Amino acid sequence: MSSASFISQYPYHLLVGCFLAITLFKRLGAKKRNPNNLPYPPGPKGYPLIGSLFDMPKGKPWLEYHEWSKTYGDMIYFEVLGQPFLVLGSLERANDIFEKRSSNYSDRMRMPMINELMGHDGMLAFQRYGPVWKKHRRAFQEQFHPQVIGEYQPVHVREVRAFLQRLLETPKDFYRHIDQSFGATILKVAYGYTIQGHDDPLVLNIEDAMDGIKQAGHPGAFLVDLIPAMKYIPEWFPGATFQKKAARWRQITQDMTNKPFEYVKEQMKNGTAIPCISTKMIDQLPDENDPSRAEQEQLAKRTASAAYLAGADSTLSAVKTFFLAMILYPEAQRRAQEELDSVLCGRLPEFSDRDSLPYINALVNENLRWKLVTNVGFPHVASQDDEYNGYFIPKGTLLIANAWAALHDPEVFENPDEFLPERYLDKDGQLDHSVRSPSVAAFGFGRRKCPGRHFSNDGLFMMIASTLAVYNILPPLDSNGKPCQLTAEFTSEVVSTPLPFECRIVPRSSAANTLIQDCLTFE
């Protein structure tokens, strides 16, 4: 009898009973592997077998974990249905574990929903640590190394300027224009593909894929992540709605991986392909009759799709945060525009201007620090039992670094909840490199740090500098013509994004209006 048919004949409570028995067995096993009888790190004790199931954060976990740290310290251990968790509440703890002990703390949890049912097992962020992950990581780094990403800067410039023109036409649609801009940038870099507007099927595919990842990316978001045997439950079985969602997202994942790559191959056959990541990787593939061809082609596909999935959403979330910050902190906008005016003298910025724009660079840093795109990131997994600082950390523990806490530490950042770019400047108005950089936590930790962070940072700089050079970002007006008061409200998903808000985006002058209209004329 197959697993699927077995499960279809038995109620859920049998699965739960088996799971609780396995939980008890695992706990007894962990005791035997702790010969020195070391304690676990402090944390909520929970209930027998189910652990701290009812204590798990319901929303904005980084804030709840931060509150817990006031009671338990910067290491918080708890269990949920037999699964151990360890929250690291300070940068020092995260560096100790993820940097100095990276060989034991670079794995990922199994995550059946994301990897096995939705088909994201080729995405670096979710892959288990090992030879396959190392091969994918190496391939990705070759395309996004700091010495390589300069090749992509002309694409950033062009797509940002196209964004400025779209804002001029329909400023109220700025959310949609941001999505289109970064979808266009990634697709051009990864596939040499020019999008056909916001409704381009490849752009919509990115958005659909990210929607699935946002919903399934948190550990335990679907019960199948805690009870992997549930993946065999057939789609028609009562309560198996997760299977229907997984089937739809799996098709989206396959389309995202295959369709643009096949487009590039067809363009290369016709001699019309534009140089991009995919053309470079296809040129390096072995002959069609080589036994390793299929594996190498799959690696190329996954590298390109990882770029076009991860790069777009993280950066566009940061850009939406920037627009909100400019409304809430108009003084920061004014200072940035004064610097831009003094350096640019009536033109749009280029990457060569970056060293002459310290306040803009400080604003980019503060934008990443103030409201993180990933406040806790994806959990790491302990590959083996470990002893640390007098505590026992069992194999299989999910370790969560509270990146938000590391970048809102009041001992490091005065008034950490305020948006203050000047905190990154010294007394002479230059970048102060002694201030804790957002890069220490905003892009992950250890061997799992985002390899596309330099590309993302380039895109964020060009978007911020170009937009402020020609536009004022203002609050919306109420029915009496008075500015509305906005608040900084964000989603609590794995990728945190500002909740939709309105604003007025107005050219700064008639000269700025002309500059926007003409910015792509002489390419």
Query: Using one digit for the tens of pLDDT, what is the confidence trace for 13-44?
Result: 555 565 565 565 566 566 678 878 999 999 99
Average the pLDDT over 360-370 and give the result. Answer: 98
Task: Tell me if 484 is assigned to a ligand binding site.
Answer: no
The amino acid at 517: Q
Asked if 507 and 168 touch (Cβ cutoff 8 Å), the reply is yes
- The count of C-alpha atoms lying within 13 angstroms of the C-alpha of 23, restricted to the half-sphere facing its C-beta, is 19
Q: Which of 156-160, 199-203, 251-255 is the least confident region? A: 199-203
Which pLDDT does position 232 carry in this prediction?
Answer: 93
In angstroms, the Cα distances linking 154 to 182, 202, 319, 352 are: 14, 21, 19, 12
Token pair belonging to 259: 């369709």
Percentage of residues in the chain with pLDDT exceeding 70? 92
Reported as a single tens digit per residue, the pLDDT across 77-103 is 999 888 899 999 999 999 999 999 999
Asked if 501 and 371 touch (Cβ cutoff 8 Å), the reply is no
Which pLDDT does position 211 carry in this prediction?
Answer: 82
**pTM metric for this prediction:** 0.90
The amino acid at 363: L
Task: Enumerate the β-bridge partners of residue 51.
Answer: 47, 80
Q: Is the pLDDT reported for residue 420 higher than 90?
A: yes
Domains, the chain:
34-518 (1.10.630.10)
Phi, psi of 515 (to 5 degrees): -60, -40
Q: Is the pLDDT reported for residue 110 higher than 80?
A: yes
Token pair belonging to 518: 């003409």
Which pLDDT does position 18 carry in this prediction?
Answer: 57
Q: Is the pLDDT reported for residue 439 higher than 90?
A: yes
Q: Is residue 277 very low, low, confident or very high in pLDDT (cuts 50, 70, 90)?
A: very high
CB-based contacts of 197: which residues, under 8 Å, 6+ apart?
Answer: 180
Token pair belonging to 20: 């609780």
Q: Is the pLDDT reported for residue 310 higher than 70?
A: no
More confident: 484 or 493: 484
Beta-strand pair 398-401/380-381: antiparallel
Q: Is residue 124 very low, low, confident or very high in pLDDT (cuts 50, 70, 90)?
A: confident
* Mean pLDDT across the chain: 89
Q: Is the pLDDT reported for residue 6 higher than 70?
A: no
Which pLDDT does position 183 carry in this prediction?
Answer: 84
